[in-house]
Structure 1
Amino acid sequence: MRQGDIIRLIVIEESANDAEMILNSLRKARFPIRPKHVEDEEDLLAALSEQEWDLIISVPEILDFTVQRAAELVKTSKQDIPIIALIKKFSDMTALLAANIHSVIPRDDTISLQYVVRKELDDLETRLNLRHMEQLYRQSQQQNVSLLETSRDAISYVHEGMHIHANPSYLEMFGYKDMEELEGMPVMDLVAPEDHAKFKEFMREYMIDENEEDRDIELVGFRINQNKRQKFKLKLEVSKALYDNEKCIQIIIREQLHSKEIEQKLKEKFSRLDTLTGLINRQHFMQLLDKALSKAMESHTRSLVLFMRLDNFTEIRQRVGIGGSDPIVINVANALKEALPNVVISRFGDVAFTFLLHDKDLKHAQAFGHKVLKIIEGCVTELENQSVVTTCSIGIAQVLASAGTPQSILSDAHAASKVAEKNGGNQIEVYKAVVKASDNKDAELNNVAKMIETGIEEKRFSLVYQPIVSLRGEEEEIFEVLLRMVDANGKNVPPGMLFAAAEKAGLTLLLDKWVLREAVHVVHDRGGTKHNTHLFIKLSDQAIKDSEVLIFIKKLLKLGHVTPEHLTIEISEATAISQIKFAKAFITRLKQMGCKAALEHFGTGLNSETTLKHLPVDYVKIDSSYAKGLSSNAEHQTSVKKIVELAHSFNKSVIAEAVEDANSLTVLFQSEVDFAQGHYIQEPDPRMEYDFTG
């Protein structure tokens, strides 16, 4: 790892104190760590889904959770995270190393730990650099292939005198349609007989010469034209090269002294236009779509893609014959060009056309789609013995930052067009993302991210409220605000999936701001400063690092005529610890504005006392894991009492989450917890109707 890089570390250890000892030994060695303590499989799965990690240090087992199982979970997550196992018995070493544990060292050997940590991190950086170089190599290869295929120069590769590859210009020059016709053919067959001896001597001298400089020779070549061989002059340049990692000879013909007709065909072939219709071709459309996607990612400026396919064209082709198909496609293209002169239109496939509308909204795209339907419906193609009229099916997809690739956007538009076609054709369909069970977690999250980006205008979002009830007899109205979203079918998106998708796509700020805006409206509608309603709102990790969020909150409060004390902003303890500098600055400014602050999931950090010393929060919310079986779990009861004592020593109020039953509520009361929240008290509800006086 580069010096100064933060090391994101997971420690799998039963005791928080023992975990802290491991961390202290690394801190003494000046490792800049950002740790997370994990005790079981569920904790590790949650950590792996939160972010990427650099290292795991683990004991061999905690109850039935083993370091071998941890290695399996890491492998399943497709993350490259070295694992160091700390053992007490050397007899465990062989089995652990066989289970792909990277390093195994004695538990109490801090010197070895520091050395192995540095070694594993260095090895990790080497692997990351290697993958980066491989990616750059692949990109370079792709670029080289692209340059080769689009080059105006005729280029081929020859191994032992036989063609193994040629680009389109080379094939066109010698009159071949595809590489299958040329593959394995001796290069000598393309040279006129009178120059065979000259070419053989040239190649013999070139191959035995140790000087690898390029050489050229002027020859007479053969071109196939209507099954006849035509001679033409060419200047052939040879050089030593690699193709598919195999040594070969590269042939380049730079001076193409062939007919103007062939040269014109080459120009048309490699231009941006489709040769049949004059519309832009598929390749150029994808380039324009890629630029639109980049713009969406940079500025959230949306464009729209329409995928149009002519209806029932298989039946039409059977009726008019193959010869009658092209005139129909040409006529449709001309009608589109004439009616839509300033629109980006592509002939994307045989009878498929695509449109790109820049900086337009969905309503505009739908109106545009209906216009296209009328254009195609009114387009009549006159053939020799019949008139042909057709219709089309159109799918619309938005160019969203979360789409990731141009291919994904086209896939959505194409899927929508298939729905329109299935429903009878001659209609448009807007792509609608829905929640689907899928083996591909990334695809699921990408689908949800698309829903998030369009969620506001499509009114997918809503708020529900859960009461936070005083256990000390206060009648203050406090609700936690929770965000919910539905898909196009009205089905609820699981909150965990919603926020994971937002995090992955960088859309958490969009959700934060929507919730803040709606929450302020709610307080205003309930009487603003005159009403005693207080709302708790959780913000994302991204929000506390964005200074604009505080300005946004201040403006909302001012415009809504709501006093700041009605809002309490929550951040998680894990976020606070990992972003302590940002968290402290954020909470300090929040308090200066008059809002309150809360630290949720409290009690999961390795040193909660230090966290409370640094962060001027008003509330701590005990992590929900302590509520599980609280009435019968003595260990959890002891932990809750310790958290309450610690929080009260810093004058912080304590809220217990996820209260399950009446017995747990009694334990919380006896432990001097200040507030309680959970499904036992009331499940989250769209209405704020809890009776706080009861």
Structure 2
Amino acid sequence: MNRGSVMAENNQDIIRLLIVDGLAEEAEAILNVFRDAGHSTRAHHVVSMESLDEALSGRQKWDLLLISELDVPEALTISGVIERIEQQGRDVPAVVLSDQQDDEERLSLMKLGVRCVIPQNDDELLLLTAEREIADLNTRRNYRRMSVALNESEKQRRNLLDDQVDAIVYVGEGVIRYANPAFSELIRLDDEDSLVGKAFKELVIASDQSDVDEFLASIEDSGQALAAVQCTLMSEGDELPVRAMVTPTSFDGRFTLSLLVRQQTEQQSSIAHTEEARVSKPDSETRLFDKKQFQEHLDVAIQRVISGKEKFAIICASLDTLKSIHAKGGKRVSQPLLMEVAKRLGLSLIEHKACSWGGGQFMALVKAADEATVQSIADQVLEEVSGTPVTVGKNELPVKLSLGSIFLTDANSDAKTLLVRARNACAEAHRQGGGRLCFYQKRKVNVVSSVEKQLAGMVSQAMQSDNMKLFYQPVVSLKGSEFGHYEVMLRMMDPRGREHDAANFRSKLDKNSLWGKVDRWQVIQAAKDLMTSKADKLKTRMFVHLGGNVISDKGFLPWMGVALKAAGIKPEALVVELSEQNVVRFSKEVPDFFKAVKDMGCGTSVCEFGCSLKPLETVKALNLDFVKVDASFTKDLTAESKGEELKEMVRKLSDSGKQVIVPRVGSAVEMAPLWHSGVDFIQGEFLQGPADNMNYNFEE
């Protein structure tokens, strides 16, 4: 929905809308706002309480309720619609389209449960509001799914812990939150006695209580990823020497310490001390942790940030001079350089957690609450690590670092994403010349006042510079056909040399006169390509997608007839294709347009089908040869519904004499359900991607 992204890819996440509007034409216009923005849609037109109940009674989840305040059907009220949805326990955010300027009226709507009130004809605000509300809705849905998954996971973990042979106890803030049967057995506690809620130190002999309590508190405060403690527990009046491996974890959604407790003999004491030193210390030479240890520390830090205990940041450091030095001197020179830099970096960050990440990059986890603190640490690293050259043999090698940083936050807590973004910030520092720190900045999209105007300029420039090209993708019959069919696909090269599929921006331009020129160019170029191809000219048909402008352009079809004749192409070779949203938008003109196309001898087709309010009624009266369903239906083939909606639609279209095409078939998994669904044609990468020629072997 990002209107600022001029070349945004088509969004294949289906938006499911409930539209309350007394006029079907207005409801379709609202729907077209989303489709013009590149979204696949499913919609239900609510005109009565019965139609609302029908929509809510199925298994379908709805994403947004749009209510046109000026055209609410007589049988409905805004409050009644919202109450009915709430009564059925559905979470569907409501947005009211209104020209009401009165603040009290807006406030009364918000009190009813309306999430937002926006001006009736502000399409851009509608899209931005819908984006926000659907994002919030998906967050709530994910939270519910994760809550169920967490509860199930906790049940399974309790079962596993209960069956463990090792004694395990979970301690948070000094209090026992869980102890498995093996731990109770270790200290000879009756099964019916519960330890939950008791202070862990009460199980420790008096002389060790203070030390153990302070040790666990320090581990909890520091967030140390792995530690060990030796103490003596009380067991029915006897003393029981034990050793506990302490690991930070979470339990019942709270930060907790997991203690793996084992009875210890005197002979095991020296071994235990050795193991403790190994697990709790970094490399003795570089003072850097290995990757696994660092990631454990990072996981703990994320838990502590989410629980509000501390604030952390990641710093990524890259040795910019390594690549050029390796190219000149090889490993003989670059390896000693890298080792010396690692030593300097480990010493500079000795109070923090740092590791070598490979490829001349290092990661550090630092305690920092603000950018000033991180900048101070970075300045120290730059001075101590790159302040003096490294001497290797007789060579003095320069050291140049680039640093990138990102903070750990509640909203930024995925470990993999954090590490990638830290590296991106480091790369930005390198682009700025190195020797500096850059903080990760979320990429900002420049919002333009008129996306259409900017796009029109780019398309016009591409036409003038001959930077447009046609590609052809085979449309293959599943029932056998004497013709070989191809979809004509337009692509444009922008000033930066990037290629863009017209399908991603056509809907924003195809209603103005500029796109009429593009359509004329397409027809001429496709005719030329067919004449110069090796394909059988009499047995080849091309689907050419035309914009909405040609529907009202009285001179287009006569011109097209002349152009085809001049190129030596018979009209039967061309199938004129219109999008469903343009068929809806120009519903009065389209029947005559398609009739004229048929009278010329060309074929007719509607594409992106199935996303209007009543798609079957939309094409019922049209003289169509083909109907190409929207690509979102292909995606449904691998969903839980197994494409049932598509199969039902195919059946009804076939009964009405229309041949059905399913596009974007990308795998055998998507292909399998289509064999027995009644579909006539398929198209997609599974068969062949777009090519600059028409040489597909349809007989294979």
TM-score range, shorter chain: 0.3 to 0.5
* TM-score relative to the length of structure 2: 0.41
* TM-score relative to the length of structure 1: 0.41
